[in-house]
Amino acid sequence: MSLPLAQTVKGDTASERLQALGLELPELDGNAYFVHHRAVGESIHISGQLPFKDGVLLGQGIVGKDVELEAAMELARHAALNCLAAAVQAVGDLDRVRIVQMLVFVASPPDFALQSQIANAASELLIEVLGENGRHARTAIGAAGLPLNTPVEIQMVVTSV
């Protein structure tokens, strides 16, 4: 069994660590067809988030064909950041967010086998910001296509601590 990823970002709170990374939580646009989060008992289900920034989708295409691995990893980090924004909407404070499960969907050809590396980039961001509360169960899935031709979509289940 491998050792868990070390917490390397300095800061006493999740908000301080986010700031130390030079990041801030985005404002999520409303949608007439779905909500960004829904609580069911203790669990909060976060809708699939795309790598939008300021209303602009940061990338399009198929990973391993149109989109390089490193670019897809950055897109996954941004989609995870959007998930964190939805989680904060639900619980009110970044320090109260605990990630339970993350599902990472990667638009990729059938012979592409690096979905887990793209998911690792999102997992790393969660651990950098949330520490132990960022560790989670995870699934990385290859898909023939995703909404708006995005390379990455991330869905989460979180809880409040």
User: From start to end of 36-117, where are the E strands?
Assistant: 37-40, 43-49, 52-53, 56-57, 97-107
When pLDDT is averaged across residues 133-146 and rounded to a whole number, the result is 97
CA distance 42 to 23: 28
What single DSSP character describes residue 107?
Answer: E
Q: Do residues 46 and 37 lie in contact, with contact meaning Cβ atoms separated by under 8 Å?
A: yes
The residues with which 98 forms a beta bridge, in sequence order, are 159
Closest by CA position to 122, among listed 142, 141, 102: 102
37 pLDDT higher than 80 = yes
What is the pLDDT at residue 2?
A: 54
- pTM of structure: 0.93
Domain 59-161, CATH number (from 3.30.1330.40, 3.40.50.300, 3.10.20.520, 3.30.565.10)? 3.30.1330.40
Q: Do residues 127 and 134 lie in contact, with contact meaning Cβ atoms separated by under 8 Å?
A: yes
How many other C-beta atoms are found inside a 10 Å radius of the C-beta of residue 78? 23
Q: What is the mean pLDDT of the chain?
A: 94
What is the pLDDT at residue 75?
A: 98
What is the pLDDT at residue 94?
A: 96
What is the pLDDT at residue 108?
A: 98
Cα 122 to Cα 34, 39, 139: the distances in Å are: 23, 22, 12
When pLDDT is averaged across residues 102-120 and rounded to a whole number, the result is 98
What is the pLDDT at residue 109?
A: 97
Q: Residue 151: enclosing H or E segment and its boundaries? A: none
Q: Do residues 121 and 89 lie in contact, with contact meaning Cβ atoms separated by under 8 Å?
A: no
What is the pLDDT at residue 8?
A: 74
pLDDT category at 87 given cuts 50, 70, 90 is: very high
